[in-house]
Structure 1
């Protein structure tokens, strides 16, 4: 009886410790989410009021409520607000797609670009610009189709009863290399004006953002976020390994296919709208994972980090250099040092 009581007491203490850890993780995750929302909101306001002509918060609020002069309304509502909102939503999409693939591939240092989706969307966009002369929504639709068809090709080649992460990555790298070569060939054979247009798109830019681009991007991002949240528990289980996940009742192949399709949708639509903004999908997940700590889902936080990265880089791109540069250039410059810092931090944590 005494032995049983001691065992029961030990089990109770263990459950209490687990509950305490989970409660602490939930509190930390909530706090990080709130802080990221506040930061994203602040960057949104800064991106709207700063510019060649700076506006006050009273000007911004008055314009949103239909007041103010015609010039102010045009600058804020037609030039700055579409750019800011599209940058914010695209960042959310990049961030959530990035961590979705990183969890699927069981590697926080993996990038969804490596399976060729971005390369397929880029090549389709280059073809649309230099051969078909497309722009605006037709170009966006063609780029989305290019990303989706590339994903289907990679999945078909990688499928052997299930999606082995290593095989998926290797085939994706090969497909991406092929599409990048095709895109380079199309660029070489195009005229100077088309090269400039394609280069600006490939760099990742918010300069051509329009209100008409927002509905499709926002709808796809909302739908993708809801689906990834619904799959999040099963995806977390997959990180234990396919055999372990299958033993716990997860339909491994089905979940893998669903995550890939949803991630492709998010990444392709965002890439088609803004171009491939470098490092956002790559960095959002690791940054969010460092912020929320071990054992916590960082899907929402990764999306918020992506939005902050895009808007923060856009503010720098517009105002720090002597001339405006595409936002993708700033994310590329910042991405390398940040990636190194995250790798060092994660390595030290693993050694402890």
Structure 2
């Protein structure tokens, strides 16, 4: 058939229309539309199930082993009296602290890395945990045993939370220059973190040896000896902050496209960014107040979650689940695999150090 017979000009070829790109399926609910992405949802559900499984294993493992069915029965209120004492009074506070602190650190790291658009941005690097540690050590070493009522569980947790909040606000103010640049935020955070570590070291050299031992046990980052008061404070604070983050997260998504695009879509990006950074600082301060400065969990969790879900940005729910898996899993390793029981912060530091080097090498290649 000639070109004239097909309706085309002679000497030209008939071009077929290019196939339209496949659109992401959506779901409409109560007037709102949501993107349906099966893979991230499946990965998040699997990570949540893994965190709950590790939570139950953390309760089951110990000098007095308890089977998983008995653990579940006791948690549901149908266990024996001996199991109830071992689980509810001795092991559950530690496991619950690991779950809550891991979620809080994962969410905090995902928010800070998204706001700064930098994989190195985390509460550890930005000085939030360093400031919380410095204030808590000051309270322990300066007041000493004369003010044990003040430096009790609630007092120490409140001091660490206030220190993290103050340090986070200081870093934000110093990094603000007609907006927030991720590289400048990380540099200032590293500087403030170094100052906070220097203050902490100076306080330890000037304090009484008994107070130093107490402060050092807290500074390593550990889930051992957690009380229900610490767990309740961290749980309610994490739940409240998670609700705020969830409410603001829909306005935060356009910020990944740039401030100009977000402003064109009607998003008040400065206010949204400030609220999310405040929530990230409070989440990190809550985690530090409950378990001490556990290193590298907030750095690793968002990056691992981003790779597992194949997401271009750190996903918030998956990051919280990965944080819980990392923290409870590291605590199980320190208690069962290693020949000597070590604080969980030692294990996370051993894992997070090489991971930080990997991120630095990858960023340098880019």
TM-score of the superposed pair, with normalisation by structure 2: 0.85
Q: CA deviation at 1:224?
A: 1.8
Question: 1:68 and 2:80 equivalent?
Answer: yes
Bigger radius of gyration: 2
Paired residues of 1:121 and 1:144 also in contact (CA < 8 A): yes
- Asked whether the 8 Å contact 1:205–1:326 carries over to 2, the reply is yes
Q: Within 2, Cα distance between the matches of 1:291 and 1:237?
A: 22
Matched with 2:67 is 56
TM-score normalised over the length of structure 1: 0.88
- Report the number of matched residues: 341
Picking from 205, 210, 213, the partner of 1:193 is: 210
2:322 matched to 1:305? yes
Contact 2:118 2:183 in 1 (8 A): no
Question: Cα distance 1:68–1:325, how it changes in 2: closer, same or farther (>3 A)?
Answer: same
Distance 1:61 1:32, change over 3 A: closer
List gaps (5 residues or longer) in structure 2.
1-6, 9-13, 28-33, 145-150
Hey, what's the Cα distance between the residues in 1 that align with 2:350 and 2:301? 15
Superposition pairs of residues 99-118 of structure 1, within 5 angstroms = 99-118=110-129
208-217 vs 119-128, which deviates more? 208-217
Bigger mean CA deviation after superposition, 151-160 or 181-190: 151-160
2:200 and 2:356 map into 1 onto residues whose CA distance is: 27
| Structure 2 Cα separation of the partners of residues 263 and 231 of structure 1 | 12
Match of 1:229 among 238, 246, 251: 246
Cα distance change of structure 1 residues 157 and 61 upon mapping to structure 2, 3 Å threshold: closer
**Unpaired stretches in structure 1, ≥5 consecutive residues:** none
Whether contact under 8 Å (1:25, 1:296) holds in the other structure is no
Match of 2:309 in 1: 292
Paired residues of 1:25 and 1:293 also in contact (CA < 8 A): no
The Cα of 1:66 is off from its aligned counterpart by 5.3
Asked if 2 retains the 8 angstrom alpha-carbon contact of 1:25 and 1:292, the reply is no
Whether 1:128 and 2:145 are equivalent positions in the alignment is no
**DSSP 3-state at the match of 2:121:** coil
Equivalent in the alignment of 1:95: 106
* The structure with more helix, counted as a fraction of residues: 1
Q: Tell me which of 133, 139, 155 is aligned to 1:138.
A: 155
More deviation in 329-338 or 273-282?
Answer: 329-338
Q: Does 1:210 align with 2:231?
A: no
RMSD, matched Cα: 2.9
CA displacement at 1:243 relative to structure 2: 2.4
